[in-house]
Homo-oligomer: A and B are copies of this chain.
């Protein structure tokens, strides 16, 4: 059973309207009424699909996250599922964020709900868990969960620093850093 065409049309209009508005003003300043006016959608209809403007943005962000997931799976398909080392896998994240730099400016904006941060965190965490699961199987399960979150968020710390300098470092340089940091930690 496929989705009603009217639903697709409504959601597309709203997304396009949001993308247009984002080119001229920040997300926080966009309200439902003006979004609906631009999208030529009745305001009541809006509430049949989303709760607020963030809902429209979030549905777009979910597709961007899907793109990250695909980037992660690709190399495995190519190399016949040979597990590569953690560091060379993480460069995928830096390239992904760089590609959608404009969006990640919004994701990491102070006013954005921390929900966006969590969405990215969980996407990266899932990769991280696959990569580290085997190497820490001597740890109790609870501790493994903590370790994966610890590792994942360390990388997100690099993203935060990257954002604070307006993504002015290259993905390759960041990957070098990441590699050297993991050598550094336990001296």
Contact = CB atoms under 8 A, between A and B. Distances in A.
Interface of A: 108-118, 121, 135-136, 142-143, 145-147, 149-158, 160-161, 169, 174, 177-178, 180-187
Interface of A is mostly: helix
A114 B118 CA distance: 10
Contacts of A114: 108-114, 116-117
Contacts of A158: 146, 149-150, 153
A71 B81 CA distance: 49
Given A110-B114, A146-B181, A150-B157, 12 more contacts: A110-B115, A110-B118, A136-B184, A146-B169, A147-B177, A147-B181, A149-B160, A150-B155, A154-B157, A184-B186, A185-B186, A186-B186
Nearest to A152: B157
Nearest to A168: B142
Contacts of A112: 113-114
Nearest to A183: B186
Contacts of A155: 150
B177 A146 contact: yes
Given A112-B114, A117-B114, A183-B186, A150 B154 contact: yes
A109 to B, nearest CB: 8
A156 to B, nearest CB: 6
